Chain A
């Protein structure tokens, strides 16, 4: 087996939802936070694969998923990390927050507790993550408005007070799913420095099995 530093495996050719664009490519690590069963994985699955499963398994079996959003002259590539259930007993590793440039904190509009917990996750992000992290608050399961217990205005006010993006989303009907990622993409700084490696500091290299010669990882080669 041959192992070398290598550019991280990309997903070639996937250009959703806004089509291809020329110009620079910036890669960002985005983490999902929120209580179990608020629909974190479903939001990602809807955004990345355009799918929805009524009975989504509690883990989706992928390290992280990637999806690209195209703004005017910039391709924004999200590396989306799911909690993999490690939030259940408050056992998320520091690695999870490490180098995250964006976060979506998800709650369920039909469950008041999940909104309270979302506020705790926001505090946790402010404590653990980079000070410049872009945070979006997503009130998910907007399709279940008849069972709503968290008022939109309440969440909106909280988000404004804390400088968060806010949308009510539905992974089931796809309402606002692409939009919330797009809003984050717009808010992220697209300067040369900000585009380092998704994942960690952008200063080291990733190891990938490869036949080719040694290459620098995205962090070292992308925008330096």
Chain B
């Protein structure tokens, strides 16, 4: 370990592993350390099942749960948008070749105590039970407008300047009622709250396009999920980093980040010190350089049946828009199952999560829990949402944000790309990977 590196990365969560991969690919000499003896940190998939029970202080699971090794339980629920940033990163870096995915079967939205399929095209809009007949027509007109909208062609804007018009005004223009606005903003544009109504319409239109472009890829829903759980993603990017020369040390305590004149010069573990010019890490390695800005509650539920009302889907996402349950932020329900090799045959893993708003977070997720039917085992965890107070310009320590309550990886990728830009002074050059990885296809 007593060597000199361009960068030392601390923690093997997804963000750190993507960064490590990008830095190695860019020719940097990288040392990547985790204090745990497994990859993934917060974004690991816990295996075997006994380990999950132990982590939550519960006695070992009984034999009805099958073999513990068949389970890979995510601590943080997220799906990949099929046309989103993470899929682009996976493909451009070649990491996709280590992974296999399945499409998420259904995407649902909650209204008035029950769930309905999220309508995404004209046909589904007309068949949906979310809207009355006249509203369906108005929604259809809106969808057609968004589909035809091209950022570089003002003719398609139809007299709506997307930079100066707010999304609230656009809804008004199409005469969409509150309910339709609700599922459009939350289940299609995937906003967590209603602030977007006051912002320009362009962001929302882009998000709806991302949703429908993602959906167009594979049909059933815009979401993808990796076989064996989300924990495969950090492992894949770690392998990328290793292939480009990155050195990996798991189960290695980090005792000190060594500073000189306000700038990082190394990382000490026991009596070994590795020198470096930069450190990239998750908030847990630098408690004095981050602040808590919120909390996220996540409840893992093990079940032996799918979610009622989803046509027995083996994977689902359900969004409960905040207004439906008098909240400021949405509640998310995700479901994966044995078909993704994350549980024993016949088992399902649901996760209900939201941003904490009250002193009784467990009560906040009740509307989501109530949708699930009988639950065999619940694991509730409340995580602090940490953000860096140090932008790294002086210290050369670049810190990622905690994983937020969003259901997909778009904000994860934006954070990673931003950190990379701050750390290296340039955008990541994808061409550096593609060319080299052609090697194995000669």
Contact = CB atoms under 8 A, between A and B. Distances in A.
A95 B235 contact: yes
A89 B243 contact: no
Contacts of B240: 63
A201 B245 CA distance: 28
A216 to B, nearest CB: 10
A151 interface: no
Interface in B81-108: 82-83, 87-88, 90-92, 94, 96-102
A220 to B, nearest CB: 9
B238 interface: yes
Nearest to B82: A3
Interface in A181-221: 197, 199-209, 214, 217, 219
B357 interface: no
Contact of A206 (B99, B249, B339): B99
A94 B37 CA distance: 12
B217 interface: yes
Contacts of B242: 59, 84-86
Interface residues of B, number: 48
A209 B89 CA distance: 11
Interface stretch (B136-144, B372-380, B432-440): B432-440
A212 to B, nearest CB: 12
Given A3-B88, A84-B243, 20 more contacts: A5-B217, A5-B218, A8-B97, A9-B441, A61-B439, A63-B94, A63-B440, A86-B242, A88-B248, A93-B238, A94-B235, A98-B232, A200-B100, A203-B100, A204-B99, A204-B102, A206-B99, A209-B91, A209-B92, A214-B217
B341 A214 contact: no
Contacts of A84: 239, 242-243
B403 interface: no
B439 A91 contact: no
A53 interface: no
A88 B218 CA distance: 40
Contacts of A95: 98, 228, 232, 235-236, 239
A64 interface: yes
Interface in A56-102: 59, 61-66, 84-86, 88-91, 93-96, 98
A89 B341 contact: no
A4 interface: yes
A203 B101 contact: no
A200 B440 contact: no
**Interface of chain A, main secondary structure:** loop
A59 B243 CA distance: 6
Contacts of A200: 98-100, 227-228
Interface of A: 1, 3-5, 8-11, 59, 61-66, 84-86, 88-91, 93-96, 98, 197, 199-209, 214, 217, 219
Contacts of A209: 91-92
B96 A207 contact: yes
A207 B236 CA distance: 14
B83 A3 contact: yes
Contacts of B92: 209
B100 A89 contact: no
A98 B228 contact: yes
A197 B87 CA distance: 20
Nearest to B241: A84
18 contacts: A3-B217, A5-B218, A62-B437, A64-B440, A65-B440, A66-B440, A84-B239, A86-B239, A89-B249, A89-B250, A95-B98, A201-B100, A201-B228, A201-B341, A206-B96, A206-B100, A207-B96, A208-B91
Nearest to B217: A4
Contacts of A98: 228, 232
B155 to A, nearest CB: 25
B91 A3 contact: yes
Contacts of A5: 101, 217-218
Given A1-B88, A3-B88, A214-B218, A88 B247 contact: yes
B244 interface: yes
Contacts of B102: 203-205
Contacts of B91: 1, 3, 207-209
